[in-house]
Structure 1
Amino acid sequence: MKFKLKEETINKINQVFKKYDKVEKTILYGSRAKGNAKYSSDIDLTLIGKNINLKLLNKISMDIDDLLLPYITDLSIYHHIKNQDLIDHISRVGKIFYTNVQK
């Protein structure tokens, strides 16, 4: 299992990202990226794309919530992150979760 998630779960989440052309890629970070996640660990993802705003983030978040996954999914917009420690953490341990092949 990649990132301690079933392939089906990864595919479902990525299908949501595919609906939104503005999402160029997503980076997984936190315990799932580090490899020390438990089954119940949340899924921390930051979105990368030039024109991603809070309205789009909210739509994506609602679409992922509608999947009824047994995990909490924390989404952020990478270029909105102000916490330098978090930026450093994402740079250090982040793993590519989704890439828009059309970009």
Structure 2
Amino acid sequence: MEIGLDEKTIELLRDFFKEYPKVEKVYLFGSRAKGYYTRGSDIDLLLVAPQMSFSEYLRLYSNLEELDLPYEIDLIKDKELTEEAVEIYSREP
């Protein structure tokens, strides 16, 4: 399945999330995961981090917005997954 992010962007996101030990997994969902994105589509990410406090989440989100990406990012924490979600990071191999 082809997703709507280039490998450079995926690696940048993976490197970013590696810096947060409480992040267990990150999923890409929405139009970029399903393949019907447009050039201006945002990046929808689901964050699995049950041990992360709200203040830690806010700090992570603020830092995520500082990444040099040409897209807006929507970050959702601990919501129910859909079948269309594509895992882009996992702390466990």
Q: How many residues align structurally? A: 92
Between the aligned residues of both structures, percent identity stands at 34
Q: Distance in 2 between matches of 1:25 and 1:5?
A: 17
Q: Distance in 1 between matches of 2:57 and 2:74?
A: 11
Structure 1 segments (4+ residues) deviating >2 Å: none
The TM-score normalised by the length of structure 2 is 0.86
1:59 aligns with 2:83: no
Q: Distance in 1 between matches of 2:82 and 2:46?
A: 11
Q: Distance in 1 between matches of 2:56 and 2:3?
A: 25
Residue segments in structure 1 that go unaligned for 5+ positions in a row: 82-86
For residues 8-40 of structure 1, the C-alpha deviation after alignment (integer angstroms, 9 at most, x for no partner) is 111111111000110000111110111111121
2:88 to 94, 97, 101: 97
The root-mean-square deviation of aligned C-alpha atoms, in Å, is 1.6
Matches within 5 A, 1:1-103: 3-78=3-78, 81=79, 87=80, 90-101=81-92
Residue segments in structure 2 that go unaligned for 5+ positions in a row: none
The TM-score normalised by the length of structure 1 is 0.78
Kindly state the Cα deviation for residue 64 of structure 1 after the two structures are TM-superposed: 1.6
Kindly state the Cα deviation for residue 97 of structure 1 after the two structures are TM-superposed: 1.4
Q: Which amino acid aligns with 2:16?
A: V
